[in-house]
């Protein structure tokens, strides 16, 4: 299997995140990449391919131009300097961007836990490029393709970053694939993909199905409820299945099957994009489901049984030591 990845993605290094008023070690560690690459090397049947940088139009198909310019401008930060937003306009959002000062970064952000540094832009563009190349390859060959997207993407909306996400890799791939057919996104990250949902909320050519921890208890708290079904043309093309934290793999698989059945009644997609979050593993530092390495194999097998051209995009997964073997187990199941 082809696995798209660029070493530029490693240059995004954030040390701390704010949570409950305290600084904690940042969960989206660079070592997540090494864990996955190591598993691929040991397995031997992966071809790691450096993606070409995607066309700017692919970014513009999802994100506002002023947002992209803002993210790009963080390249001017000094080494060791970060922008950590902490003031967020709410009632009457006006950017007040002239002159731009880092303390107004909250205009483009929804979460004080996610920061920017000088290499964030190039790493995020490389990560999105991996997704874009994977989509091109699957479109051309019909083969399943994996992209090691880190930083991840599903929390990023058209004009806001957060949840360790800056560019919505899944949405960028979906916008490319939807030019040649209907797309179903299946998001199995522990957290609801608020960014992906919002980008396709009024669309009937992109279905968004997400199974995640209930937002009444878990991040991102404000979206991911069952009553969010889409608007306008997109009504019934958004399906959220929230599960209680600590749900068992059995409950998880029942919910997944139910979700897939419901989704396929509404759309028979030409392509499937998996927002593949491995923070549903038992013991993840910020995820609280109970999947084992063997469960990831079963999950891969179930998703392959849908028999659609599929691209698999990395999202979360923070138990670094297990991440690589879980990704590999999933991909083995998917190819079985
Ligand atoms: N105490 C993804 O999985 N909040 N993002 C964590 C930890 C942020 C996760 C709080 C969670 C974002 C792509
Ligand atoms: Zn997550």
At 52 the pLDDT is 98
At 96 the pLDDT is 87
- Dihedral sign, CA of 174, 175, 179, 184? positive
For the record, the structure tokens of 57 come out as 């139009």
- Widest CA span in the chain: 55
Choice from 188, 219, 274, 285 to test ligand 1 binding pocket (greatest atom count within 8 A of CB):
219
Please tell me if the CB atom of residue 28 comes closer than 6 angstroms to any atom of ligand 1: no
Q: How far apart are CA 123 and CA 288, in angstroms?
A: 28
At 80 the pLDDT is 92
Q: Are strands 22-25 and 16-19 parallel, antiparallel or unpaired?
A: antiparallel
Could you identify the atom of ligand 1 that is nearest to the CA of residue 191?
3
Ligand closest to the CA atom of residue 314: 1
At 34 the pLDDT is 98
At 31 the pLDDT is 98
Q: Of all protein residues, whose CA lies closest to atom 7 belonging to ligand 1? A: 286
Choice from 114, 286, 317, 323 to test ligand 1 binding pocket (greatest atom count within 8 A of CB):
286
pLDDT tens for the chain, 336 residues long, are 999 999 999 999 999 999 999 999 999 999 999 999 999 999 999 999 999 999 999 999 999 999 999 999 999 999 999 999 999 999 889 988 888 888 999 999 999 999 999 999 999 999 999 999 999 999 999 999 999 999 999 999 999 999 999 999 999 999 999 999 999 999 999 999 999 999 999 999 999 999 999 999 999 999 999 999 999 999 999 999 999 999 999 999 999 999 999 999 999 999 999 999 999 999 999 999 999 999 999 999 999 999 999 999 999 999 999 999 999 999 999 999
Please tell me if the CB atom of residue 279 comes closer than 6 angstroms to any atom of ligand 1: yes
User: Contacts for 216-221 with beta carbons within 8 Å, 24 or more apart?
Assistant: 216/242, 217/244, 217/245, 218/190, 218/191, 218/245, 218/288, 219/163, 219/191, 219/286, 220/110, 220/111, 220/155, 220/162, 220/163, 220/191, 220/192, 220/194
Cα 199 to averaged position of ligand 1 atoms, centre (Å): 20
Q: Do 313 and 147 meet the contact criterion of CB atoms below 8 Å apart?
A: yes
CATH superfamily of 2-334: Histone deacetylase domain (3.40.800.20)
At 225 the pLDDT is 98
Could you identify the atom of ligand 1 that is nearest to the CA of residue 189?
3
- Catalytic positions: 155
Please tell me if the CB atom of residue 315 comes closer than 6 angstroms to any atom of ligand 1: yes
Model-level ipTM above the cut of 0.90: yes
């Amino acid at each position: 299997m082809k696995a798209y990845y660029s070493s530029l993605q490693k240059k995004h290094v954030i040390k701390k995140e704010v949570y409950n008023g305290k600084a904690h070690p940042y969960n989206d560690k660079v070592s997540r990449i090494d864990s996955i690459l190591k598993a691929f090397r040991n397995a031997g049947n992966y071809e790691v391919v450096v993606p070409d940088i995607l066309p700017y139009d692919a970014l513009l198909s999802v994100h506002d131009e002023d947002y992209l310019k803002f993210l790009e401008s963080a390249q001017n930060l000094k080494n060791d300097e970060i922008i950590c937003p902490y003031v967020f306009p709410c009632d009457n959002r006006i950017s007040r961007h002239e002159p731009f000062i880092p303390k107004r970064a909250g205009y483009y952000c929804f979460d004080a836990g996610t920061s920017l540094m000088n290499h964030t832009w190039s790493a995020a563009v490389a990560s999105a490029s991996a997704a874009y190349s994977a989509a091109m390859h699957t479109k051309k060959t019909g083969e399943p393709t994996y992209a090691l997207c880190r930083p991840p993407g599903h929390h990023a909306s058209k004009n806001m970053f957060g949840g360790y996400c800056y560019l919505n890799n899944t949405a960028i791939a979906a916008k490319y694939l939807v030019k040649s057919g209907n797309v179903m996104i299946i998001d199995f990250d522990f957290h609801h993909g608020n960014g992906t949902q919002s980008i396709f909320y009024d669309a009937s050519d992109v279905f968004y199905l997400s199974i995640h921890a209930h937002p009444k208890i878990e991040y991102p708290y404000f979206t991911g409820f069952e009553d969010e079904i889409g608007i306008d043309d997109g009504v019934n093309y958004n399906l959220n299945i929230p599960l209680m934290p600590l749900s068992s793999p059995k409950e998880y698989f029942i919910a997944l099957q139910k979700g897939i059945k419901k989704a396929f009644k509404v759309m028979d997609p030409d392509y499937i994009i998996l927002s593949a979050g491995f923070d549903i593993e038992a013991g993840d530092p910020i995820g609280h489901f109970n999947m084992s390495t063997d469960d990831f194999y079963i999950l891969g097998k179930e998703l392959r049984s849908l028999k659609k051209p599929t691209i698999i995009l990395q999202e979360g997964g923070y138990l670094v030591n297990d991440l690589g073997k879980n990704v590999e187990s999933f991909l083995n199941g998917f190819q079985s």
